Structure 1
Amino acid sequence: MGATMAGLRVVISLNFFVIFSTIFTLSHEECLLEKSNYTQYLGAKTPYRVRMNTNMDPIGYLGCEPLQFWTIIRHGTRYPSSKVIRNMMKNLPLLKDKILGSYNEGKGELCEYEADLFTEWTLKVEEANEKQLAHEGEDEMKDLGERWLQRLPSLLTESYDNNSYEFRHTATQRTALSARSFAIGLFGRHKAAHVWYPQPIAKDPLIRFYKLCSRWKKDVDKNPASLVEKLKFKETQEMKAVVQRVSIKLGLNSLTYDDIHLMFITCGFETAWNKYSKSPWCAAFSEEDLKLLDFKSIASGKGSQKKGIFYFTHSGALLKLISLLGLYKDEETLRSDNFDDLKYLKRRWRVSYLDSFGTNLAFVLFRCSDDFKIAGYHQERPFIFPGCDATPCSLSKVRNLYRDAVFMCEFDQTCSLARS
Structure 2
Amino acid sequence: MSPWSLTIVLMIFVVDQTSSHHPMHHHRGRPISQKVQHCYANEQNPYLYFASKTAYNAVYNPNSRNIIPDECVPEQLWMLVRHGTRYPLLKKMKGFLELSKLRDEIVRNHEQHNHGELCEEDLENLKNWRMKNVSLSESDHLTKEGFQDLYDIGNRTRARFQNLFSKPFSTKNYKLQYTKHSKTKHSAEAFALGLFTTAFHIPEPKDDDLLPQIYPDCKVAPIPGADDPYQGGKMERTLFKDGELVASVAHNVNKRLGFFNHKLTVDDIEQVYDICRYEKSWNFNKLNPWCAVFTAEELQILEYIGDLSYYYNSGHGYSANLRTGCPLVRDMMETFRDVANQEHKGPNAVFYFGHSTTMYNLFARLGLAKDAERITHDNYFEMLESRKRLKSLLAPFSGNFAAVFLRCNSGTRNRVAFYHNEAPFLFPGCNSYACDWTTIDNKYKSITDPAVCNFDFCTKNGTTTSTTSDASHKENSGANTHASITAIDASDNVQVHSRLAQGDHDLSGNTLSSKRIISNNRSQQNSNHNNENNSTNFDKPRTEPMRRGPLPKEDFNSQTPPPQPQSETSNGMFHPKSIGGPNMLYILPLVIVSIGLFVIFKRSKSRNTNDIRFTRLMTIEFTNTRSEP
Instruction: Report the TM-score, using the length of structure 1 for normalisation.
Output: 0.85
- Report the counterpart of residue 213 of structure 1 in structure 2: 218
SS in structure 2 opposite 1:363?
strand
Q: How many Å separate the matches in 1 of 2:378 and 2:402? A: 35
* Relative contact order, higher structure (CA 8 A, sep 6+): 1
Q: How many Å separate the matches in 1 of 2:272 and 2:256? A: 13
Is the CA contact 2:249–2:298 (under 8 Å) kept in the aligned structure 1?
A: yes
- Report the counterpart of residue 405 of structure 1 in structure 2: 447
Unaligned runs of 5+ in 2: 1-35, 310-330, 336-343, 469-629
Is the CA contact 2:418–2:424 (under 8 Å) kept in the aligned structure 1?
A: yes
Match 2:365 to one of 315, 321, 324:
324
C-alpha displacement of 1:410? 4.3
C-alpha displacement of 1:201? 3.4
Q: Which runs of 4+ in 1 moved over 4 A?
A: 27-30, 56-59, 216-221
Q: 1:29 to 1:88 in 2, by over 3 A?
A: closer
Correspondence list, 1:16-415, <5 A: 30-34=39-43, 36-39=45-48, 41-55=49-63, 57-90=65-98, 92-105=99-112, 106-124=114-132, 125-157=134-166, 159-188=168-197, 191=198, 194-201=199-206, 204-206=209-211, 209-216=214-221, 223-253=230-260, 254-300=263-309, 301=331, 302-303=334-335, 304=344, 305-344=346-385, 346-368=386-408, 369=410, 370-407=412-449, 408-415=451-458
Unaligned runs of 5+ in 1: 1-26
Is the CA contact 2:205–2:212 (under 8 Å) kept in the aligned structure 1?
A: no
Q: How many Å separate the matches in 2 of 1:173 and 1:354? A: 22
Q: 1:380 to 1:412 in 2, by over 3 A?
A: closer
Count residues in correspondence.
386
Q: How many Å separate the matches in 1 of 2:359 and 2:214? A: 11
Q: 1:405 to 1:247 in 2, by over 3 A?
A: same
Is the CA contact 1:72–1:311 (under 8 Å) kept in the aligned structure 2?
A: yes
C-alpha displacement of 1:88? 2.1
Q: How many Å separate the matches in 1 of 2:399 and 2:97? A: 28
| Structure with higher helix content | 1
SS in structure 2 opposite 1:180?
helix
Q: Which moved more, 1:175-184 or 1:384-393?
A: 384-393
Q: Deviations for 1:126-151, whole angstroms, at most 9, x for unmatched residues?
A: 32111000000010001111212222
Q: How many Å separate the matches in 1 of 2:397 and 2:387? A: 20
Q: Deviations for 1:259-299, whole angstroms, at most 9, x for unmatched residues?
A: 11111111111001113422221111100001011111111
Q: 1:287 to 1:330 in 2, by over 3 A?
A: same
Q: How many Å separate the matches in 1 of 2:446 and 2:308? A: 27
Q: How many Å separate the matches in 2 of 1:130 and 1:399? A: 42
Q: How many Å separate the matches in 1 of 2:430 and 2:83? A: 30
Between Structure 1 and Structure 2, whose CA radius of gyration is higher?
Answer: 2
Q: 1:311 to 1:374 in 2, by over 3 A?
A: same
Is the CA contact 2:405–2:416 (under 8 Å) kept in the aligned structure 1?
A: yes
SS in structure 1 opposite 2:130?
coil
Q: How many Å separate the matches in 1 of 2:393 and 2:363? A: 12
C-alpha displacement of 1:404? 2.9
C-alpha displacement of 1:158? 7.9
SS in structure 2 opposite 1:387?
coil
SS in structure 2 opposite 1:311?
strand
Q: How many Å separate the matches in 2 of 1:206 and 1:314? A: 10
SS in structure 1 opposite 2:448?
helix
Q: How many Å separate the matches in 1 of 2:217 and 2:454? A: 9
Q: 1:215 to 1:58 in 2, by over 3 A?
A: closer
- Report the counterpart of residue 515 of structure 2 in structure 1: none
Q: How many Å separate the matches in 2 of 1:113 and 1:133? A: 32
